[in-house]
Amino acid sequence: MRNYLYLFLLLLLGTSSIAAQEPVTTINGHTFHMGDSLTIGLPYEPGEGYQTMGWSKGDMKIPAFAKGKLQKHIIPMKKDMFGDIIVEPDTLYFLSLPQFPKDSLIVYLREAVQKGEVLTAPTEHTPLYPEAVELRPQDYVPALIKAGYTTYTDAAIKAYVQSLGDTELLNSIKGSAFEYQRRRAALVEKLKEAVEKFDLNRVYYLQRKFSTNVYDFTRSGYPAYLSNGFILNHVGIPAEESITLYPTTKKSVYFVSVPADRAETFEKRVGSLGSYIHIAYGKTYIKFLPAQNYVEDGSRLYNVQVDYLGLDLYEYPHCAYYHLGSGKAE
């Protein structure tokens, strides 16, 4: 009798294991199973919320790179009193996170995979310039002054205050010329500190949107579309006291090497397989070059000469993972 009991338990466990491994959906070549441990990525748009998931209860912060188990709930179809279908059956997917045991995170799985908000591949990579730092809006004015493209003008001072995001301070100096004059000396000192700290010898990067042509199987990669003579798009502080940088260079990146299997994964994941144009995102690496006989013309538009070093191409705007390939500027 005991042997029969052991056999029954073995069969039961075996059946449960098979059921747990039954595929629930396949998305762009990646198969998911119930109970899979999935890793949450970053929001598709930097600085914004997640587009493809949210809490079923409350409004809690979604923890990036946390792991949750995949669950599903089937909503049965509903009929009205005449027997007509009101709601078709539907399937909702959830991620159950151990740090939130009483709440479930609803995830639109197909869209989450497509936008990289649920990870299905390793995220580690080595960028072209690991030491590079992002050129932030608060760096624009200090960079211009340090490189010799402008001086401590009133426009530069106010643009710098604006770039810091201190709304109260900005409103006070814009609302009263007397208040601005009272604070001007202190603001100049603050800007001078930022100029002193800005390092012209460092490598900086700008994050930009790119388009690529069809995959080139002969050269194994993508032609990268950049405007001739310019790093794609200018950077600036868009407001009344604006300062706009146009990084200009004689170099460009004409091609980014990407293995064929990696390119296929990319096109499948973002849904552009078979298209003539693919949208990607990149970090463009630059070093500032000192101004040569620059004369202030009052336009606040600065053609800043930079040494364009290269490009890292990624699938998503945050440029944090899903690296496609790199290209040196020439």
7-25 per-position pLDDT tens digit: 333 333 343 333 445 666 6
Residue 5 CB burial class (10 angstroms; 0-12, 13-18, ≥19): exposed
Q: Which of 74-88, 156-170, 267-281 shows the lowest mean pLDDT across its residues? A: 74-88
pLDDT at residue number 293 = 76
Q: What tokens does 238 get?
A: 């868009």
Name the H helices within the chain: 2-20, 109-114, 137-147, 154-163, 167-175, 177-197, 260-270
Residues recorded for the chain:
330
Provide CB contacts within 8 A for 256, sequence distance 6+. Answer: 212, 221, 222, 224, 311, 313, 324, 325, 326, 327
180-211 per-position pLDDT tens digit: 899 999 999 999 999 999 999 999 999 888 88
Residue 82 has pLDDT above 60, yes or no: no
- Rounded to whole angstroms, the Cα distance separating 313 from 284 reads 9
35: left (phi over 0), alpha (psi -120 to 50) or beta: left
Q: What tokens does 184 get?
A: 């001007």
CB contact burial 273-296 (16+ within 10 A = b; e otherwise):
eeeeebebbbbbbbebeebeebee
Residue 264 has pLDDT above 50, yes or no: yes
pLDDT at residue number 231 = 52
- The helix (run of H) or strand (run of E) holding residue 245 is strand 244-248
- Rounded to whole angstroms, the Cα distance separating 304 from 203 reads 15
* DSSP for residue 230: B
* CA geometry: angle 10, 36, 65, nearest 5 deg: 145
223-248 per-position pLDDT tens digit: 876 533 445 456 777 776 778 888 88
